[in-house]
Each structure stands twice: as structure tokens, then as C-alpha cells.
Homo-oligomer: A and B are copies of this chain.
Amino acid sequence: MDGMRMTNVLLCGGSGTRLWPLSRTLMPKQFVKFSDDRSLFQQTVLRNQRLCEDQLIVANTEHYFLAIDQLEAIGLPDLKTRYLLEPMGRNTAPAIALAALCLEPDEVMLVTPSDHLIKDEAGYRQAVERAEVLARDGSLVTFGIVPRHAETGFGYIEAEKEKVLSFKEKPDAVTAESYLKAGNYLWNSGMFCFCAGAYLDALRTYAPEIYKASVQAFESANKMDTMIRIHSDAMMAIPEQSIDYAVMEKSDQVKVVPARMGWSDLGSFDALAEEVPSDANQNLILSSRYTALVDVQNLIVVDTPDALLIVQKGSSQKVKAVVSQLKAQGSQLPDVPVTVHRPWGTYTILDESEGYKVKRIVVRPGKRLSLQKHRHRSEHWVVVRGKAWVTCGKACYEVVANTSTYIPIGQTHRLENREATDLVMIEAQVGGYVGEDDIIRIDDDYHRG
């Protein structure tokens, strides 16, 4: 170690409906809390803050506030964090290029997905430390996981010690078996380590269009103190490509660090079932309700307030087809979780019927909703915990716990939490139409339309 800092680049772009209905487009896998109290995103942050001084979180704009919330919840005030916000995903080569452009050329980037499980922290640390040494020497380092079985769901790296011989696509079962037997094939983990400048140089050489478009997107980006927001048009102009395809498979500076670190990508419920305990009949039950299973074996039961999935173990790859079918039907189920995260907190629909809707609204300390009005509904607000600061027309007033207020139809209003604890409110909406899109925003801290 030479004392120069290393930055953890966390890739949070996954839309992750492979673990649907737990994960949704607006609540991707890395932010879901499984059996652990902490999401995979939070676990990744905690793991890497022991190895890196700074972190740069690359996320979709939609998930920015989710990431902020989860980061605040683990409380690391000294960890320097920046956000790089993508309006849409263009795969890893552009994402890592934009991240590299945020850093000094000689800064070492530890690039990690934020939705993987790593159980062996010592093994991980050892691998990262070795990768850092190689990266400071100018190498483009990838991490190869020593395979535990003949997995057909991952790409492989053929290696000779730290030298990469070739990258291999996802193999069929027979080929995977031969890789396992050969002993010098490693799972391609999607983690990387290199100097920012080294990566950009290689990208300029091997994928100049991606490089050029990435530089342009970075230059035109909206840059604030701790947040860089890429514009849609500029992002769209970057060719979509993986870092493996664009750089790693082509450069001769590539090295691999073989590692054992109890790694899993949790890419399906079957992968999850290997990590989370099943019951005596080998059923994996993910449910917060009382669930009784009688004379059934090897089931994965995933129970959420608006969707129930029951899948035979070994068949969880087919969940993708269920999600595709729902999308084709125009259903919101793949996208929207029951508890919706907003920049200011969350809302959860408790009841909905003709002419009314009931929500539980949680506003986080110091946050406020937009100044807004509705054409078709009135709102009754009952504060059940905390204190609300309410703007209603020209009036501004406090609403303490166990009191209520009323927002007439068409009236401009705003809800704010100026306290240090969460505000919890029950909202009963009444009107001829109670859809989420009946909202006219007059002023918004979060610049939404």
C-alpha cells in the first residue's frame, strides 16, 4: 500500500426482477431485505468501507433516494460518498467509464456489483488487497471465483495463475463439468480493480466509440457537489456494452485474481435457497404472514402483499417468464412494490375501492412532499406518530399526533416533517378518481414534473 486512496465504485443499476415478487423494477434486488436486516447494497457498502476511503455509487435516477435512505440507515458519517446517476442503463462498459471520469487517473477503482453475497470477508479482503497491488502496477484486474460446482449460469475465465488465457460464455452442462474438472477455470464475478486512467486508456484503444460518447456524456452532465447526473440524450448516445466484451477480453494488461470468498450472485430463488435456511421438508418460505405447508417438499414460497409465487426448487429460472407475461399484460406488478419509496419517504396503499383510497404515509425527518393539488380528490390526514407541518391554501399550521386535517379538492397543499423522527400519517382520499396521476406539482424539492 502506498497510502493513495482507493474508491469503491458500486454498480447499482440492476433492475433485478429475477427475484420477483420480492424485487421489482422500483425495488431492485440490491435494495431488498431478505432474511438479513441489511440489504445486499448495505452489506456491500459496509464490506468495502473497510477497504476503501471513498465510494462512488452508480445508480439509476429512479433509485437515488432508495440508495440515500439505505445509506443513511447504516450511519457511516465519515465515509465520503458521491452518486453518479444514470437515466437508463447502458451496461457496464459505459457505467464504469463514467465512474472513471469522476476520478483522478491514478486513483484505484474497486468496481463491485451491489447485489452479490460474500460470506467470507477474510477471503474477500485478501483478494482485494492482491488486486490493488496489481492495479497500481497498471493491470486491469478481474476477480475469478474458484468454482464450487459445474454452474451453467455464469461465464468462466480460463486462467493460468493470474494470467488470463480466455473468457468463456455461459457453458452447457457438459462443458461446465469439464471446466470444473480442468481446475483452471474460474467464475466471472463481475468485480474489477484498476486505475481509472488505465481503464480509460484501454477503452479508448479497444472501444473508442464508447470512450468518446462517455466523455461527452460526462462533460455535459449536471455536476453537483456529491452528485453527477447524466443527461438522457447523452446517455442514449453511448453504445450499450459489457466491460468484458469492450475491454477485458481484448486488453493484454488483464490479470485475474483467483479467490474463495463464499460468493453468490443470488441470481435466482434457487441461488437464494442455497444461502437461506429451508424448513425440515426443504421448503424455503419467504413470507411475513402465517404460512402452513402440509405434505409438500422442495417448494419456494414467496409471499408479498400483492403477489404470491410458488415455485418448485430447480425451476426458479422460469420466474422470468412469469414476469415477462405480466409485463405483456400491462400489469404494474413487475414494477411497483406495495410500499413505494419516494424522495421524502414511503407510502403504502392499505385499502382502495370505488371513490376512496387509504394510504399510510411516512415522511422522513427534514423532508417534505411537493407543493401540489389534485383535481378529483379531497384528502383527510390523521397524524398517528410524529408531527406534520401542513400548508393548505394560504394557511400553514402544525398537526400533532392524534389530530387531523382536511385538504379540500383543488386546494394547493404541502406536507412536511420538520422533526427529528418519522412522521406517520393515515391518508383517506375521497373522490371520483383516486389515481396516482392526479397530481399537479407547483414546487418540488426533488424537481419532479
Query: Using a CB–CB distance below 8 Å, which chain A residues touch chain B?
Result: 287, 289-296, 299, 301, 303, 305-312, 314-316, 318-319, 322, 326, 331, 333, 348, 350-351, 353, 355-356, 358, 360, 378, 380, 382, 384-385, 401-404, 406, 424, 426, 428, 430-431
Between-chain CB contacts (< 8 Å), 23 pairs: A287-B308, A289-B305, A289-B306, A290-B306, A291-B308, A292-B308, A292-B311, A292-B322, A294-B309, A294-B311, A294-B318, A295-B311, A295-B312, A295-B318, A355-B384, A356-B384, A356-B385, A358-B360, A382-B382, A384-B430, A402-B430, A404-B404, A404-B428
A402 CB to closest chain B CB, in angstroms? 4
Q: Which residues of B contact A306 (CB under 8 A)?
A: 289-290
The residue on B at minimum CB distance from A302 is B292
Helix, strand, loop or mixed for chain A's interface?
strand
Residue from B295, B326, B351 within 8 A of A360 (CB atoms): B351
The residue on B at minimum CB distance from A307 is B290
Residue from B308, B355, B401, B430 within 8 A of A290 (CB atoms): B308
Complexed CA–CA distance, A331 and B292 (Å): 14
Q: Which residues of B contact A350 (CB under 8 A)?
A: 350-351, 358
A307 touches B291 (CB 8 A): yes
Given A289-B308, A404-B428, 7 more pairs with CB closer than 8 A: A294-B309, A351-B360, A356-B384, A378-B402, A380-B426, A384-B428, A402-B431
Complexed CA–CA distance, A188 and B292 (Å): 32
B319 touches A294 (CB 8 A): yes
Question: Which 9 pairs, one residue from A and one from B, show the smallest C-beta to C-beta distance?
Answer: A295-B315, A356-B384, A294-B311, A295-B312, A382-B428, A350-B350, A402-B430, A380-B382, A291-B308
Residue from B312, B353, B356, B404 within 8 A of A296 (CB atoms): B312
Complexed CA–CA distance, A378 and B401 (Å): 11
A16 CB to closest chain B CB, in angstroms? 17
B430 touches A428 (CB 8 A): no
Q: Which residues of B contact A404 (CB under 8 A)?
A: 380, 404, 406, 428
A294 touches B307 (CB 8 A): no
Greatest chain B CB density within 10 A among A310, A319, A378, A403 is at: A310
